[in-house]
Amino acid sequence: MANKELCKRIIAENQQFVKGISFFERDYSFDEGLNYVVVGLRRAGKSYLLYQQIHHFLKAGHDIDEILYFNFEDDRLGEMSLADLDVVKTAYEEMFAVKPIFFLDEIQIVDGWEKFARRLADRGYRVYVTGSNAKMLSSEIATTLGGRYSVMEVYPLTFKEYLRSDGIEINSPDAIYRNDIEISRGLVQYFQYGGLPEVRERQDKRAWTSGLFNKIFFGDLVSRYQVRNDYALKLLIRKLAESVKQPISYNRMSTIVSTAGKKISTDTVISYVEYMKESWLLLPIENICSKLVDRVSNRKYYFIDNGILNLFLADPETSLLENMVAVQLYKRFGDNVFFYKDNVEVDFYIPDRQTAIQVCYSLRDSDTLQRETDALLKIGNRLPVNEKIIITRDESRTIDDVGVTAVSLRDWLLSL
């Protein structure tokens, strides 16, 4: 059973910590009157959003005594059970004679947490919970929560947020012009090291990202899912990174890893890929023109952050470019982002926008330009396409007579 006095001390410490924290506003907002399950990759900024929302409550006139912020990864707690969640609630009620607003951080550590969260919602409490495991969205948990919570998925910083975090204003064309050098310098860092909020503050960004990946690998994958063949799992991650621009089947993954020296079955590969998705490491994209069974078994996989992907690449530029575009599209459109491959290949297709997108590092070579524009024109013969875009690393131009627009990554990111 959790120590009630320790819980009281943690609650009081957290109130002072959260009250004094400084931050910039991220582009997320919570609706009044709703409870939330906030999910995403470890270190993507879920706790930060809780701090942001707490400050919104304080600005609206709530007192810090009304805030019950509790991080279940606090190393003083040890292993906690479902019954211990009531100890936390009782500890607060013995400290304050007001109804708390609950902010329960990384609550997925506690088995059965959803029953406690459901009970709080049923009793009229305002509740925000976070977790790093997509199983928090499973059908069983959703059934228990009974529609009483809204889901918010948190991604690494967008480029606009990344610039804002460094105090770079981009709220007008004039501001973009005045900060041109800083924006370009920021893009180099963002492109190579990704948008995880803490990485921008680190001198050795690669070492910090490597340390984070090890925590995800051993904590969120090996330990949580009791993976016995961790060497094969790491090898699979490396091979997925090297194949990030190409569709790859489960059978192909099994063959590649087995050939590299560690026998692994197709069924195990399927499980490992699911674990990586559930830990928010991978984002799958399906072929829109495939049969249903092939859509699932032969997908393209992108990494949720460029910094993590870059750990595994020797020649990263083209892969990082396409990965960055994929993440931004996935954040905006979710499962409604596809690729197209059937004699012709187009990197991304968004049905709701009837938009086809190619990603190409440079169009300076005339053969490359012809190949990319031809693909966009051909997909228009098979699917409805109103907008045809080529995203490049540094070039923006209109390609005459074919209705194709080339836009630099920088301009595209600033337009989102």
Q: pLDDT value at position 32? A: 87
pLDDT tens-digit series, residues 327-380: 999 999 999 999 999 989 999 999 999 999 999 999 999 999 999 999 999 999
Q: pLDDT value at position 2? A: 82
Per-residue pLDDT, averaged over 66-82, amounts to 95
Q: How many helices (H) and strands (E) in the chain?
A: 17, 14
3-state secondary structure of 146: coil
Please report, for residues 1, 8, 22, 260, 412, the alpha-carbon distance to residue 416 in angstroms, rounded to integers and kept in the order given. 49, 44, 26, 41, 7
Residue with tokens 């090297």: 242
Query: Is 88's pLDDT higher than 80?
Result: yes
- Reported pTM: 0.94
Per-residue pLDDT, averaged over 116-132, amounts to 95
Q: How do the domains of the chain map onto residue ranges?
A: 4-154, 160-193, 343-416
Rg (CA), the chain: 23
Residue with tokens 């923006």: 396
Percent of the chain with pLDDT over 70: 100
How far does Cα 217 stand from its chain's mean position?
Answer: 16
pLDDT tens-digit series, residues 222-267: 998 999 999 999 999 999 999 999 999 999 999 999 998 788 999 9
Task: Return the structure tokens found at 382.
Answer: 């098979």
Query: How far, in Å, CA of 58 to CA of 49, rounded?
Result: 14
Per-residue pLDDT, averaged over 388-404, amounts to 91
Confidence band, pLDDT 50/70/90 cuts, at residue 399: confident
Query: How far, in Å, CA of 250 to CA of 276, rounded?
Result: 14
4-154 domain in CATH 3.40.50.300? yes
Question: 3-state DSSP helix/strand/coil percent for the chain, to nearest 5?
Answer: 50, 15, 30
Residue with tokens 């051909």: 378
Of 190, 181, 154, 182, which Cα lies nearest the Cα of 409? 190
Confidence band, pLDDT 50/70/90 cuts, at residue 218: very high
